[in-house]
Structure 1
Amino acid sequence: MGSKGPEWTGFQESRPYGPKYDLRTDFVMVYGISDDLPERIQGWKQAGYTIHLMTGVSWGEYQDYLYGRFDGRNHWDEAQVNRAGDQVSHGKDVPYMVPTVSFAEYLATHIKRAIDSGVEAIHMEEPEFWAASGYSEAFKREWRNYYGEDWIPPHSSPDAQYRASKLKAYVYYRALDRICSQMKEYALVHYGRTVRFYVPTHSLINYTQWRIISPEALLVNMPACDGFIAQIWTGTARTANVYKGVRKERTFETAFLEYGVMQELTRGTGREMWFLHDPIEDNPRYTWKDYAYNYRSTVVASLLHPGVSQYEVCPWPWRVFELGYPKEGGSGKEVIPAGYKTSLLTVMNVLRDIHRYDGDVQEGKATTGVGVLLANSAMYQRGDVDPDEDGRKQEFKYDGTSGTEELSEAQQELLDWSAFYGMALPLVKAGIPLRPVQLDNILTFPGYLADYRVLLLSYELMKPEHPGIHQVLGQWVREGGVLIYYGDGSDPFHNVQEWWNRDAGRAYDRPEEHLFESMGLGRNPGEGEHRVGDGAVLYYRQHPAELSRSEEGAEQVRSSVHQALQFRGEQDAYLESGLLHIRRGPYVIAHALDERDAAEPAAQLEGAFVDLFDPELPVLSRVELQPGDDRLLYDLDHPAAQLQDQPVILVSASRIREEQYLEGKLTFVSESPSEMKVSTRIRVPAEPSAVTAGGQPAACAYDPGSKTVLIRYPGVPEGIEIAVNWAE
């Protein structure tokens, strides 16, 4: 594996190099800037990796700063503090920080050490400011400097909470902009090289649901930010939500929406985006069977978004491949099953390969061009608003590392965030590939809405940050788009002091009044359909959270989209399906949706496929998907799988290099972690006469129907030579 080249896949690891978790990706993100950083970098570099560094920007092992050893001043007043006066913590002596200028300067000294050690890219992870915080002395100082007035307790009014949240997003933007710009200059001045800066961040959907504020869309306009890692995994996606009145985990659907909003964040911007998956998660209470089911749901959900072809295949592989997790039935722990290890490495190598087919994407029959608008400001409406000094019912911190058993019903309803899911889930459940669209981007990137026919919008869960947004939406509607608006005007955050109500001469009670007026409909049009140019507005005076509470609410959402398409003269464009699926080259990705009509039959895929989630890589002539099933398949009928003048290595749980075919003999080098069994399936001209791995006979099984052979052999990180012979 070369040390330079494309960076399609990578992983993060805080531990020194280890062969059991050497995943043979393109790059590794060495985590944390400790004294042993140079040694850790050297270990991974010797294994052939391009070296990145990842470190926390909101929390980390920063005790030297907190206790005054850095600059002689104690900085505990910069820890995030909630209304009760408690620090918001990530662990002992590891608080979430208010990103002051001083803290940014401290982080920059660490980044210099990483640049001095030769890393090629820096990942400033998780800029997170909890909605429940905003009460520390440092934040009060930031408030005075930003607003020019004394701090106002965030819980005292919707306006105070909204302003506090905007400030939280700003100070993290400022810190990242300062660090990244300063350190890029440092690398050029001292070493004559460009160091890239990325921001690994949860999705806007997850941060809003978990009640965390982060810069998100602001960073797209930060020149020193080269891209993002979409930190989406089973721990974020299994957060329960409500559909048809039922609260439950919906890992696939939530992940599909999360990956979707992150794809939209960078679409058309030129920024890089890696999608993350995690075979386990931060909550260690689940079994391997549970982890595997949810992992596959996130993988399939991510692959259904073909605008991204770069992946972080695993955070912390050490904990995946070496730690134990509860056995089924609760009797002790067990390390990763051998078969699951093989399956994981197969998927990771598929993820590295899939970019080769970016120009060969075929989406399944579905209603496309439908989006739901979502803005950064959704995060600003998630904090506690209760002037009663004793009222703290909403003060809780949920981050996926524990269950929700301790939450009250009111807290659980707040965590549900049904205003968003009420509009989104009915469409995803109908097999419509809904895209969450980043509202903040439409002013910055011309033509951002061009791919959309129908958009859903509500200002009950967020607010437009600029009146120009309405000019763009209005033009899109006049040119034929249909906007579906849900809102009853009940959200208390309509009264925050923002652009729509600051001008006493033409103040609006709610921002949608400006939207409707700018389209020529007056401030308060009646419910129903309103023609605007070649397009239309469908207005429902209803809070979108209500749509999540019943089957009728879900049906109303679907009917509104059907009506919108009929208005456009596209009577046949509305298609519901029990299957979301896509083809990316030879790879077939599919999810069978559940919570549908119980009488609906299982989905069938006919053809010749290799099952990539099965460690034996079996060949299947028919694939049946029951509701809730996820499948990742290799299509043996695709041109990429056909024999030409030599055998074709179809799929492997290893990284393949030095492939050669001469005189009836195929040789290649296979790289994979140690202490695992590699499965490799090859399409061959005839049944092999001999197969060896490292010079020793290897297990193989020939399938005459598909003319493929499955070879199994031990994993070797530095590579093992495989030879397949046909000659006698």
Structure 2
Amino acid sequence: MTVKDNDHLMDMETVKRAFCKTAFLLLCLPLPAQLQTIHDTTASVQTTLRATTAWQPAAEIGAQAVLLSRADDTFLHRAKSWREKNFRIHFLLGANRGDYQDYVAGLWDGRPHEDWQHSESHDYFFPAKPFIAYLKSQITHAIDCGAEAIYLEHPVFLPGADSSASFKRSWREQFKSDWQNPSASAEWRYMAGKLQQRLYWEAVVDIFAHAKQYAQEKNREVKCYLATRSLLENARRGFVGPATRVLHIPDCDGVLAEIDGEALLAPNVYSNVSAARPFETAFLQYGLFANQVRGHGKQLLLRLDPFSGGGEALPESGKLYRAQLTAALFYPEPRRFELPAIPQTLLAAARNKSAAPADSGRMAAAPPALSVQTLLAINHALKDMTHKHSDYETAERGVGILMSDAMLLQRAAPAASDSLLSFFYGLALPLLKHGVFVQPLALENLHQPHYLTGYKVIFLSYRFMQPQDYEWHERLTTWVRAGGTLIFIDDGNDPFNQVKDWWRKGMFDYTNPAEHLFETLKLGYWPKPGRNQVGMGSFIYLAENPSSFAHKTNGATQLLELVNAALPAGRTVQTQNYLRLRRGPYVVAATFAETANAGAQVLQGDFIDVWDERLPHLTQVAIAPGEQALLYDLSKIDSTQAHVVSASGIVAQERRSKNEYAFSLNSPAGIIMRVLVFIPAANATVQASSSGKSVNIKNKNEGKLYWMEFENPGPGVDVKWTWEATALGQETTTK
């Protein structure tokens, strides 16, 4: 028994059928109607928030759209309440789990569907045709209620789902034979995983095609996004489903990248020490997302929520969010974020509580615990990060590690690979902690002509995954011959080398896929370990398990020596224990612990600490090992007009004249709002009101910087600054 030949070709036929059906409907629509009514309704949305209820005042945190779930008979009412508060409506539905009791009980179509549930708790659903039809009906209702975007969340199978009655039925349909226990052999495990990926891939194709088609029939445009954990996190949890390949679906408009508190706290091994490393984990997982999307012309949205997955109850939730956010900001291209809902514990603590005013000086005291004000100031900064210019300070860039969706196929018995993913972290962490901006890369994207452009050194191993296409080797060979260095670390002992995939059938007869790689590079069946010249580049082969580098105390030294050997002659990695990035006026920085250099990263200048709710002005900032920072560099401030530099609230309705600057501020009612404003004069005065009543403001200034503090009584505060007009006065503008 073997996996069916040409699985990827059959999958592409499914895509083509869905794409052609949608294209035909497009052609049938009157062209003038399309031109008048179809437009990208999500293009202007930078920030979103997820919710299950109608609008509530606590939702005023700076989001522009809401991800509503449950398309039941209350959806229209809930959507209307958010729309009345100027939120765009997006719809979030679970691909494998949700409040779908009407489907289970048969209230939807008159037939009960308990037999299509699976997993030990029976809380998860199998992507059978009736369930896909049910999800499509949910999307239809959401679009009728005004949804402008669809997010399909977690199209994955959980561990154990491959022995459910529903999966056994699909096995028989696919392979025309009785189900075989995947735990009994690597061959059957591999077959089960490929079938699971195929089932959800076809489900996503069908669901997204329906959403696009139905929207077209209504002369509307709807965006379709996959909301998913990272490939690494799904591998850690033993979940199986499609990942990078979903981006090849024409109707998929992008990915919402999800990293929760559980993922941030999952341990990995570095220098033989197993520990949670939240920043490093988030950095590498967001990097994988970014490189999966890169080149597809599709959008990447980042979910920032350390409070989910059990994070809210943790005392270190503030540190988790700082690590997660900093990691996300090292990738400037994604400029769309899902904001975390404010935990009720923080909201209650913030109401009617005033902190000490911001102190200026050489150093600030340790930042207070995470607060509502800090969360809101971060949200303001995220909406402000539209700057195209970015400048990295790293030890080295252009170093990658190749990954594949295939790693999900061998995460369970009888031959599960390392549960801590040391085969990946063993290579990535030693480089990252020494300042190398190492990036996970997707093998599925090698078909893109310029995907590897800019990369000098790439690591590859088949010790935890198998290549799904022999053409990948041809693409890698082309890159090596053009001057790249491929470092292959593999001891040849992966049990899944023996499965009957492309390298062991058809026109190929190899013991394992590495032999085809070697021959494509023209190095024979098994080259000797060491460096081999290939065209203008080189191939370095180490006959080791990549996991071993996680357990060596000198693993970092060995890997850095490999990278140095791969770099052009005379060039070496200048190691450092930090990463730093400038995004417009913002400085994003992280300092690594667990390295020989135990010193802090010190920055001199004029900065505002965005993580400190007091927004202090600092002339020196020291970022200790294991810490991160987000700073506003005052030397980069726009001095041409008055504007809000930072705010623990939503800034709107800005109006300017030559001697006046006015704006409105909103936030959850009852909290102390803190705002830093730049005014092009040192003698400005301020007034504030809410619903026509005066609001008392505490304020101070340093030259043209003004700090404000006041309570938001609800439903927001109107602020007006005035000053004496000078020759530098501003022309009237409106935002």
Is 2:227 aligned against 1:200? yes
Aligned partner of 1:604 in structure 2 is 602
Aligned partner of 2:717 in structure 1 is 720
Aligned partner of 1:22 in structure 2 is 60
Work out whether residues 454 and 484 of structure 1, in 8 Å CA contact, stay in contact via their aligned partners in 2: yes
Aligned partner of 1:591 in structure 2 is 590
Is 2:444 aligned against 1:464? no
Change beyond 3 A, Cα 1:318–1:30: farther
Is 2:674 aligned against 1:679? yes
- Cα distance in 1 for partners of 2:573, 2:689 equals 53
Shift of 1:338: 9.4
Change beyond 3 A, Cα 1:30–1:525: same
601, 610, 613: which is aligned to 2:611? 613
- Cα distance in 1 for partners of 2:321, 2:411 equals 28
Mean CA deviation greater in 64-73 or 507-516: 64-73
Work out whether residues 230 and 289 of structure 2, in 8 Å CA contact, stay in contact via their aligned partners in 1: yes
353, 362, 369: which is aligned to 2:384? 353
Work out whether residues 547 and 553 of structure 1, in 8 Å CA contact, stay in contact via their aligned partners in 2: yes
Aligned partner of 2:176 in structure 1 is 148
- Cα distance in 2 for partners of 1:323, 1:197 equals 36
Work out whether residues 224 and 251 of structure 2, in 8 Å CA contact, stay in contact via their aligned partners in 1: yes
Shift of 1:589: 0.2
Aligned partner of 1:437 in structure 2 is 441
Is 2:606 aligned against 1:637? no
287, 291, 297: which is aligned to 1:270? 297
Shift of 1:662: 3.1
Shift of 1:674: 2.2
2:684 alignment partner AA: P
Aligned partner of 1:581 in structure 2 is 580
Work out whether residues 698 and 711 of structure 1, in 8 Å CA contact, stay in contact via their aligned partners in 2: no
Work out whether residues 564 and 571 of structure 2, in 8 Å CA contact, stay in contact via their aligned partners in 1: no
Work out whether residues 280 and 320 of structure 1, in 8 Å CA contact, stay in contact via their aligned partners in 2: no
243, 246, 250: which is aligned to 2:277? 250
- Cα distance in 2 for partners of 1:422, 1:678 equals 45
Q: Deviations over 1:571-593 (max 9, x none)?
A: 33522111111001001000011
Change beyond 3 A, Cα 1:725–1:430: same
Work out whether residues 131 and 382 of structure 1, in 8 Å CA contact, stay in contact via their aligned partners in 2: no
Shift of 1:321: 5.5
- Cα distance in 2 for partners of 1:338, 1:671 equals 23
Aligned partner of 1:217 in structure 2 is 244
Mean CA deviation greater in 695-704 or 304-313: 695-704
Shift of 1:183: 2.5
Is 2:330 aligned against 1:304? yes
- Cα distance in 1 for partners of 2:514, 2:345 equals 48
Aligned partner of 2:109 in structure 1 is 71
Change beyond 3 A, Cα 1:693–1:426: farther
Q: Deviations over 1:478-516 (max 9, x none)?
A: 00000011110111111111111124x741111111101
Mean CA deviation greater in 415-424 or 60-69: 60-69
- Cα distance in 2 for partners of 1:627, 1:440 equals 36
Is 2:372 aligned against 1:344? no
Mean CA deviation greater in 237-246 or 21-30: 21-30
Mean CA deviation greater in 156-165 or 667-676: 667-676
1:686 alignment partner AA: A
Q: Deviations over 1:92-151 (max 9, x none)?
A: xx6222211121011111111111111111111111212432011211121222233322
Aligned partner of 2:87 in structure 1 is 49
Classify the secondary structure of the residue corresponding to 1:220: helix
Give the structure-1-normalised TM-score.
Answer: 0.88
User: Which consecutive unaligned segments of at least 5 residues does structure 1 have?
Assistant: 82-86, 326-336, 387-393, 395-412
- Cα distance in 2 for partners of 1:65, 1:608 equals 59
Work out whether residues 13 and 318 of structure 1, in 8 Å CA contact, stay in contact via their aligned partners in 2: no
Over the residues paired in the alignment, what is the CA RMSD in angstroms?
Answer: 2.2
Classify the secondary structure of the residue corresponding to 1:628: coil
Aligned partner of 1:692 in structure 2 is 688
Aligned partner of 2:5 in structure 1 is none
Is 2:131 aligned against 1:103? yes
Aligned partner of 1:403 in structure 2 is none
Shift of 1:165: 0.9
Classify the secondary structure of the residue corresponding to 2:615: coil
Aligned partner of 2:649 in structure 1 is 654
Work out whether residues 602 and 626 of structure 1, in 8 Å CA contact, stay in contact via their aligned partners in 2: yes
Aligned partner of 1:161 in structure 2 is 189
Change beyond 3 A, Cα 1:550–1:4: closer
Q: Deviations over 1:319-351 (max 9, x none)?
A: 5756899xxxxxxxxxxx996100001111211
1:373 alignment partner AA: L
Q: Deviations over 1:72-107 (max 9, x none)?
A: 4332222234xxxxx2x4xxxx62222111210111
Is 2:479 aligned against 1:483? no
Aligned partner of 1:499 in structure 2 is 502
- Cα distance in 1 for partners of 2:43, 2:301 equals 16
- Cα distance in 2 for partners of 1:715, 1:534 equals 65
Work out whether residues 132 and 383 of structure 1, in 8 Å CA contact, stay in contact via their aligned partners in 2: no
Shift of 1:717: 7.0
1:675 alignment partner AA: G
- Cα distance in 2 for partners of 1:5, 1:715 equals 31
Shift of 1:628: 0.8
- Cα distance in 2 for partners of 1:415, 1:300 equals 26
Work out whether residues 24 and 673 of structure 1, in 8 Å CA contact, stay in contact via their aligned partners in 2: no
Give the structure-2-normalised TM-score.
Answer: 0.87
Number of residue pairs the alignment of both structures matches: 665
Shift of 1:696: 2.4
Taking the TM superposition and a 5 Å limit, the aligned residue runs for 1:126-141 are 126-141=154-169
Aligned partner of 1:32 in structure 2 is 70
User: Which consecutive unaligned segments of at least 5 residues does structure 2 have?
Assistant: 1-40, 351-367, 726-735
Shift of 1:279: 4.6
- Cα distance in 2 for partners of 1:22, 1:235 equals 27
Classify the secondary structure of the residue corresponding to 2:635: coil
- Cα distance in 2 for partners of 1:155, 1:241 equals 25
Work out whether residues 82 and 89 of structure 2, in 8 Å CA contact, stay in contact via their aligned partners in 1: yes
- Cα distance in 2 for partners of 1:675, 1:436 equals 44
Aligned partner of 1:170 in structure 2 is 198
Classify the secondary structure of the residue corresponding to 2:376: helix
- Cα distance in 2 for partners of 1:279, 1:417 equals 21
Change beyond 3 A, Cα 1:40–1:250: same
Is 2:107 aligned against 1:112? no
1:380 alignment partner AA: L
Aligned partner of 1:231 in structure 2 is 258
Fraction of identical pairs, as percent: 31
Change beyond 3 A, Cα 1:31–1:442: same
Aligned partner of 1:381 in structure 2 is 410
Shift of 1:353: 1.4
Aligned partner of 1:399 in structure 2 is none
Mean CA deviation greater in 457-466 or 150-159: 150-159
Shift of 1:159: 1.2
Change beyond 3 A, Cα 1:313–1:258: same
Aligned partner of 1:408 in structure 2 is none
Aligned partner of 1:423 in structure 2 is 427
Change beyond 3 A, Cα 1:255–1:648: same
Aligned partner of 2:11 in structure 1 is none
Aligned partner of 2:732 in structure 1 is none
- Cα distance in 1 for partners of 2:369, 2:675 equals 15
- Cα distance in 2 for partners of 1:126, 1:481 equals 36
Aligned partner of 2:359 in structure 1 is none
- Cα distance in 2 for partners of 1:19, 1:248 equals 39
Q: Deviations over 1:508-536 (max 9, x none)?
A: 11111110110011110111100100000
- Cα distance in 1 for partners of 2:544, 2:533 equals 20
Change beyond 3 A, Cα 1:470–1:508: same
Mean CA deviation greater in 57-66 or 473-482: 57-66
- Cα distance in 2 for partners of 1:643, 1:101 equals 60
Mean CA deviation greater in 235-244 or 469-478: 235-244
